[in-house]
Structure 1
Amino acid sequence: MLATEILDRVGVDARVHAVDVDTGREVGMRADEQVVIASVFKILLVLEFARQVVAGQVDPTERVLVRHEDRLGGWGTAGCADDVELSLRDLAYFTMSVSDNTAADLLLRRVGPDVVPLLATELGLVRTRVVGGPRQVLESMFADVGATDAAGFARIFGTLSEERIRTLRVFDPEHTTSSTAREITRLLTLIWRDEAGPPAACAMVRDLMARQMFWTRLPSGFPPEVRVAAKTGTLPGLHIEAGVAEYPDGGRYAIAVFARTQRLDARRIDVDLAMGEAARAAVEALRAM
């Protein structure tokens, strides 16, 4: 079954791109349309951190205190009840493994928020725009609904219609961090080919992506012998993942799948599993070329 048919089956509006890392052969669907990338931007963030570490600009063992006022809510340190102290490289680990928004926010502060968009430009990702980190995204959502804090946002958000929610800037590629499926696979290809920075920096990103804890999207579509390193992105109604599948015979395939559901329901395991199935179908199409 084609990737498009698989995603149509679960009723999502999708963009897909897959490319053979070594040959450049590609398949895709609406791969050049601008889309919200949400936490997939963390790949760029951790790549910049890794490059600075290798260049000697940042000490990965530098200690960071995550305080109450730093917490943004969610997984990892973002959901801790008490202050937590850890290293910069552990911030990078939590950023990638559980998409920890607080860890990403603190890491972005350390590497420099203005540097990540410059990295995208350096890598030739001309359609990729980074307007800030998790804190900036959260602040834009607060402002758009007229809330001043998380409690107020939660109270107001629960009263909004789906139509009103979709008008928030966080859902508009022109007003939030965004890219295209093709550019995201281009970023992954550069990392896997050691062309996104020093080889040691690229290897660090590959290792961290392979440690992601979530498996229901791209990894779910592949057999155990295929190693999948990936990064999720999630917002209400948006299921996003990008990663690389590495086959035992040496084949390497970068994949990006962006799925938009008709309803703002984030818990759609059928969509997640269809994303994995579609990714596998796209890769198998490349392998048959």
Structure 2
Amino acid sequence: MIEGQIREVFAGAGCAGQLHAVPVTGEGEVGVGADEPVVIASIFKVLLVLEFARQVVAGQLDPRERVLVRAPDRLGGWGTAGCLDDVELSLRDLAHFAMSVSDNTAADLLLSRVGLDTVRLLAKELGLERTRIVGGPRDLLEALLGEVGARDEREFAERWPRLPDERKRRLAVLDPRHTTASTPREITRLLRLIWSDTAGAPEACAFVRDLMGRQVFRHRLASGFPAGVTVAAKTGTLPGLHMEAGVARYPDGRCYAVAVFARTRDLTASLATVDAAIGRTAALAVGRLRGE
């Protein structure tokens, strides 16, 4: 059974995993824990950018509107968070950084303009009934600081290494019952809707697809597929949680939506064996869907 093979790959990488894969059009699926809740971390940004694109198409937002990213705005991670000086850029470029390098600061500023409640309403409109969004990157960071008892990121960096691993694993941000969460099946549903131009106006869906295709991280889903297969995706990472959701497009034009979530006992943020397992299991699932 393909499900058994997938579980073996996860186990061999020292993790437990959940997966769902479906053709963008057509029948068939492969699932391992596809309906069990998962923390989605930065995969939430797909919904955020989709709502932004929908508002742009509807004339509610000007994508060229300028935003000043200042020191108090900066959150940890990639992109503008690492800038030493104020940066001015457009709403459209905030979306670009949020998707291409998972810029938390850009995503948080974009969310403040788009509106948290509208993103939640979008999830319901799209039939993502088990998808819950508790807040943006800043909300999650403040919750994490509060749980650890740190006043700021500097104090957090001092306290985190001293926390017992069992205490870290009980943090709310790592528990799908208490943080932004969904299921692998609902994430592939979202991707199918975007790739079939039914998650919004075709221009809005195309914008999201384009940005997902620009993601710079290629060490998870994309690592499992052969040359000639293009992968447009969005990663998510938290201590002990490694995930990615995206669409693999084959040279014959057929596309497959895949969402993979791995949980490890090791709380290291980057684990090459787990990243490779995400790609390998995705390729196994898609291979079964293709009859290979």
Q: CA deviation at 1:85?
A: 0.3
**What residue in structure 1 maps to residue 96 of structure 2?**
93
> 143, 151, 154: which one pairs with 2:154?
151
Q: Secondary structure at the match of 2:116?
A: coil
Question: Do residues 54 (structure 1) and 20 (structure 2) align?
Answer: no
Q: Partner amino acid for 1:31? A: A
CA apart distance, 1:233: 0.2
Cα distance in 1 between the residues matched to 2:270 and 2:205: 32
One-letter code aligned to 2:126: L
Which one-letter code corresponds to 1:80 in the other structure?
Answer: C
Q: Equivalents in 2 of 1:171, 1:74: separation in Å?
A: 18
Shift of 1:3: 2.3
Match of 1:196 in 2: 199
| 1:119-151 deviation line (CA, Å, top 9, x unaligned) | 000000000000011000100001111111111
Q: Distance in 2 between matches of 1:44 and 1:77?
A: 21
CA separation in 2, counterparts of 1:140 and 1:169?
A: 8
Q: How many residues are treated as equivalent by the alignment?
A: 289
| CA RMSD across the alignment | 1.0
Return the offset for 1:113: 1.4
Q: 1:66 aligns with which of 69, 87, 106?
A: 69
- Counterparts of 2:81 and 2:285, CA distance in 1: 35
Matches within 5 A, 1:1-16: 2-16=5-19
- Structure 2 CA distance, aligned partners of 1:42 and 1:60? 17
Deviations along 1:24-48, whole A, 9 cap, x unmatched? 3111100000110000000000000
**Counterpart in the other structure of 1:137:** 140
**Corresponding position: 1:215 with 2:222:** no
Identity of aligned residues (%): 66
- Secondary structure (helix, strand or coil) at the match of 2:162 reads coil
**2:152 is the alignment partner of 1:162:** no
Give unmatched runs, 5+ long, in structure 1. none
Amino acid at match of 1:111: V
TM-score using structure 2 length: 0.97
User: Normalization by structure 1: what TM-score?
Assistant: 0.98
CA deviation after TM superposition for structure 1 residue 77, in Å: 0.4
Distance 1:90 1:3 in 2: 37
Runs of 5+ unmatched residues, structure 2:
none
Are 2:182 and 1:182 aligned?
Answer: no
